[in-house]
Structure 1
Amino acid sequence: MDKKTKGSWLIHHTNKLHGVTNQSGYENTYLAGKAGILLSAISANKQITVNNDRLEVLAKAANINTTFELPKLVEVLQQQQLIDKSSSGIAVLGVTTATALQHTSDIFDSLTPSPTETATIALAERASLSPILADDVSEDLADMYKLAKPEISQLLSDAEQIGFVDTERLSKSETLLFNGNLFRRESTQKIKNVLDSLKENEQLILSDFTENLRKKACISVDAAKHFLGENLFQKVTAIGLFDISVVSNSTEDVGFLTLPSAFSKYSSSMVDDAFDLAKAFVSSVTYGMTKSAYERGQIQMVEALLSALVRGESVGPVRAIAQDYKVLELKGVVEVRHGTKKGRSGPMLRLLKKEVGELALQAINQGDVSEHSISSLPTAAVTLFKGPEANREIVRRRQTKMSPKATNDMLAVLRTGGGL
């Protein structure tokens, strides 16, 4: 497993650990993951200086406790020579999303993690390739990491309770493990296997919907439910066949679907969008194209806009910039400042993470992100973004409570189907 993939799993596990009250036994995972999350939030492609006020805001937005966690995380990043600290703030050396993940992996290794912590990463990786029986993977992990039977049992229990992997009971003696990254890579055969497990009418509906989604890049949840029907929608989103992202403002929350492999044309989607930055970027840009009025700065030529940002140019000034990109500001993707261009003054936008803009441009070029893509995005500025894994958890909990059998057949065929 390369460092970027390992770093992605550490971020994944840390986000899961954040949802439990006790991280006992996984302190190194949590510390390394939090350090990686902070590093991503404060970094840019070029060296950047972050003052203390901005550091606190970015940390809070990243769910980092500024009283107890932030000082320790800054200390860890300083020890790794990734930042220089002064009384007024910190200087961050040029760090991309990919290198942030590599540094996360290095930090984890430097903390001398336990075999169990390391094994949970291997478990998640294995469960993302195809669903696997718990008994089968237990033997492999025990041999690889020299874990005794009680340690393996505890590891699997922790993995299920914390959410490192998902579980489905096939019988009293068989438990199937998988996770939400199943369709982020090598997805063609897996999708075919899912289709083969469905009824003929469901196959046709899902095939038409998937093709429609490929063309449009993203489709609203309401439109998806109408197209697929509630039952089929719950089935396929519970296993991660589609990503659900949610954008919010002061009046409503609106969800939309994208393909998990939307950013994987050139590399691993799981690695590229480990921090959900690209999907947040696409959602904000789509809003600017579809719902922002012309007089306040509606995006007319999205490719030209993104290309200019990727080249390092500032765009604007228009009023919309000060309002519509708050999510991206809080994630450290863009910087908004007052500026002057062509005799006009006002809010200007600059891209801090070039690779995120490149991914957004790639997704938009691959699909038709137009006024037909998201018909019901909020009409006020987007102020919150909830990533796919958090939303899949909600759908999966609801689906599992209703009927565990609804996904069992699809998971089983993924495990036994050819080409995996």
Structure 2
Amino acid sequence: TFTISRQIVENACQLNGIDKSARRDGLQILRDAGRVDVAGDGSVAVLGATTQAVLEATVEIFDDQRPSSDEQAIIDLSERVSGKPMKRAEAEEYISDTHKLVKADATTLVDLSKKTALIDEEGERSNGILFNSHTFRDGKYAEKAHRVLEHLKADERTLLTEVQDKLSRSGAMYEAEVERMLGSDLYKRLVSVGLFDRMEVSNSTESVGYIASPNDFQKYGRPFEEDPIDDAKALIASLTYGQTRSNSVRGRITMPEALIRTLVRGDELAAGAGGIRAIGEDYRELEARQVVETTEQSRGRFTMRLLKKDVGELAL
């Protein structure tokens, strides 16, 4: 829990075009949802302000407000373009058909989505590409990704879907496995346009690449700062290494979700076992990022604590 002064709240609302009545109503909704407390002096105490809590509160409040077809259409569109850039004309036709909107309303909604930064557009309006700047680095990458995806053959689309489904379930995959599933040529094309993120886990034995999908982590943006998203991907990469490359002698991970929950609770990992060798070798990047803290308990055997709870929650 942390407290924001009335002046900061008012300044933030002013910068984002939120008038006094909207601010008052919004704070009341958050208060009713148990997410904030508003003091007599106008300061706001934010309860449990983590990335996960922000997303959960947003979903709950949105559903409770009985969203209109227009609002549902905006959410639907932003969800679709987060995974794949779309031509503006195609997007307008999609939300018009799916949500029973007249063409003029569909056009207005796309403009509104751009104005509120839910989506971005690259190119001339008549031939623009809609995309999510959180999952695609910029408009040029979005254009390239759109061209690559549009020209995929049927079998290549199937392979891509298989990899995306697997990434959605596991969070990260061994780079060599992704390349094997897609084939070297398709893999290189997709990585080159930013459809996948590559991370690396290094220890005294080897350096191994892992692949994650930006769409699984950052399509909703980065609510507080840049680091948590990248830290969560690095954590998942290290855990995936422990599942796929480590052996039982140095410490093999068999229940990654339970391991993350242990860390999120604040418990010291491997304390009961007197430490594990792999902890001292596979989490150096995370320690440098100050995501975790490792402690040598005996020669070559380490325990670990999570320093950034938010990162662990994102990784779950």
The two structures have a TM-score, normalised by structure 2, of: 0.48
RCO (CA 8 Å, sep 6+): is it higher in 1 or 2?
Answer: 1
